[in-house]
Amino acid sequence: MYSFRPVVPEDQALICRHRVEMFRASGRDEAILAEMDGPFGEWLRPRLASGAYFGWLGMIGSGEVVAGLGMMVIDWPPHPSHPTQSARGYILNVFVEPEQRGRGLARALMDLAMEEARRRGLDHMILHATPMGRPLYEVLGWTQTSEMGLSLRDGG
């Protein structure tokens, strides 16, 4: 019923839409989402072209794209979670169209990403979970870390 294909540069607008919809579903401010959309597209374009941003799209039988996941290998100093490696896999922009949720698409995309990380020899992966995605990631064995954040934009 579903098939998957790698993202290509021509998918940029779709990936941008998925990113906005993902954040919208988690209750993010509409004004900030509108502000983010253009700069994200500018950031994404060269990374899609070079392969630094890669991922997969899930399609229904007609070929309509109904889900997506992005991935990067990010430079990170050796760390207790990956003591001999200076990189980690990073998952982002996991999105499934509302009418297709609960049918295993996100899990299948995560399986593709974890297999790709193994293929690349990565020891550790990270993601930032929305409340909606957290139960799936926990079932797949992901655990919460001690990461914190500070927004300097808001005067912090």
Calculate the alpha carbon distances from 118 to 111, 112, 121 in Å: 11, 10, 5
Contact 125, 89 (CB under 8 A): yes
Query: For each of the chain's 156 residues, which pLDDT tens digit applies?
Result: 899 999 999 999 999 999 999 999 999 999 999 999 999 999 999 999 999 999 999 999 989 999 999 999 999 999 999 999 999 999 999 999 999 999 999 999 999 999 999 999 999 999 999 888 999 999 999 999 888 888 897 665
**What's the Rg (C-alpha) of the chain?**
16
First vs last C-alpha separation in the chain: 48
Q: Single out the residue of 68, 54, 63 nearest to residue 17, CA to CA.
A: 68
All structural domains of the chain with their residue ranges: 2-139
Fold of 2-139: Aminopeptidase (3.40.630)
- pLDDT one-digit tens code per residue, 108-140: 999 999 999 999 999 999 999 988 899 999 999
SS3 51: coil
Q: What is the pTM of this model?
A: 0.93
